[in-house]
A and B are shown apart, each in its own frame.
Chain A
Amino acid sequence: MKRLICFAAVLMVAVLAGCAERGAQSDAQPGAKPAGGNAAPVAVSIDNFTFKPDVVTIPAGGKITWTNRDDVPHTIKSNDGSFTSAALDTDQTYTRVFAAPGEYAYFCSIHPHMTARVIVK
């Protein structure tokens, strides 16, 4: 139940943030199509030593927010070393904007059997 409320709250914030951003954008550039960067972050949870979902596709400029739901710390580290989060303890988050299209494979540097991908189109 707690998690459901949490999820609802996150959804609400995300929707509101999305509205606010779109509002701001349309003020500046009336009629412009919202770019990916202005969309709400896509959520990836870390649960039971698994990135969920393990493959996420977002538009260029899109954001991903990872949230650690486990009782042990995890990290988000790209296979090529181009980005690494700090250690995320329980319920801590890490957000990253993906500006350039491409495929970004990543893993947890503490539990490297945990692997996943971000696809930016």
Chain B
Amino acid sequence: MSDRIDRDISNDGIDRRGFLKCMAWVGTGVVWSLSSGGVLTSRAFGEPAPASEAQATASFVQISDSHVGFAKEPNKDVIATFNRAVEKINALPRQPDVLLHTGDLTHLAKAEEFDAVAQILKGAKAGQNFFVPGEHDVFTDEGKLYLERFGRGTRGLGWHSFDLRGVHFVGLVNVANLQPGGLGTLGPEQLNWLKEDLRGVASSTPLVVYAHVPLWMVYPKWGWGTADSEAALALMRRFAAVTVLNGHIHQVLQKTEGNITFHTARSTAFPQPEPGKAESPGPIKNVAADRLRSMLGLTRVDYVEKDHMLAVVDSTLE
């Protein structure tokens, strides 16, 4: 299966050779790849891998929304599906340099839930693990337990940055101090930090930015967006290639805006409805047991320095 979509690219003088190219939903997964020419292509997960995957200079995985503590329909064993995601990571042909968890590690921010997450991730073969919290991780104690266990060395409620193999990674927190009305917020303190953090980074450096709630307006009526994300995105527009990875909405959605690619990951615990396609954003409950794992998943991203390419591959837990 393959779709081709022509894209206009603004002539903004940015030195970039590649763009997000491909998107498609093919049931079992999708590969996105970047190459020169501005043409979008896609292929089903499981078809032969493009050369870029073998040539990648950096490789990392994103998992999200493990919701340890959840035990209702459609998934009464979120530990098993979380472990399945770890198995999938461990079976990758190349060990990822970084494992990112984009929040809602737990369901109710209980100590035993955080402990279970740590225990499961001990079995994951990845270079380093990084986390950002979801609202479920911080709403009971303003993030105290989360920070003790998963946010050491970070700022605020867990924001941080690091460099790895030519990529600059930024973890943002948009679930602190949520206000009535619905959307995630970054807040002035974090935005100031981000401005300072990016100041010394060359525009040719690929950025990977991750946060729990989408940094684009997916569906404000359900709170699926971040009120002040534009202030953060404005700081990223000078960069040649920006990949924004989010969780929170338990499904794969993507969008490209100039040089910025937005991508949301599946949950390892339960699927949520498409925006506006249900009365509420609660779990999709009526899922046949043999279909559940096809609605859960993880995301892998490969960066090829030579071509300035970032390839995003979603796979399910089947």
**Chain A residues within CB distance 8 Å of chain B:** 48-50, 70-73, 75, 79, 86-87, 89-90, 105-107, 109-113, 115
Contact = CB atoms under 8 A, between A and B. Distances in A.
B72 A90 contact: yes
B73 A79 contact: no
A72 B139 contact: no
A112 B72 contact: no
A71 B272 CA distance: 13
Main secondary structure of the interface of A (DSSP, over half): loop
Given A110-B136, A111-B281, A112-B179, 6 more contacts: A48-B282, A72-B70, A110-B135, A111-B135, A112-B181, A113-B222
A111 B180 contact: no
Residues of B contacting A: mostly: loop
Given A112-B223, A113-B221, A79 B282 contact: no
A50 B279 CA distance: 10
Interface in B143-183: 178-183
B140 A70 contact: no
7 contacts: A70-B280, A71-B283, A71-B285, A86-B140, A87-B140, A109-B135, A112-B181
Contact of B139 (A71, A75, A90): A75
B282 A112 contact: no
B108 interface: yes
A110 B181 contact: no
B207 to A, nearest CB: 28
A105 B179 CA distance: 12
B223 A89 contact: no
A116 to B, nearest CB: 9
Contacts of B140: 86-87
A105 B281 contact: no
A48 B280 CA distance: 5
B108 A89 contact: yes
B229 to A, nearest CB: 16
Interface string B264-285: 0000000000000001111101
Interface in B92-150: 107-108, 135-136, 139-140
Contacts of A75: 139
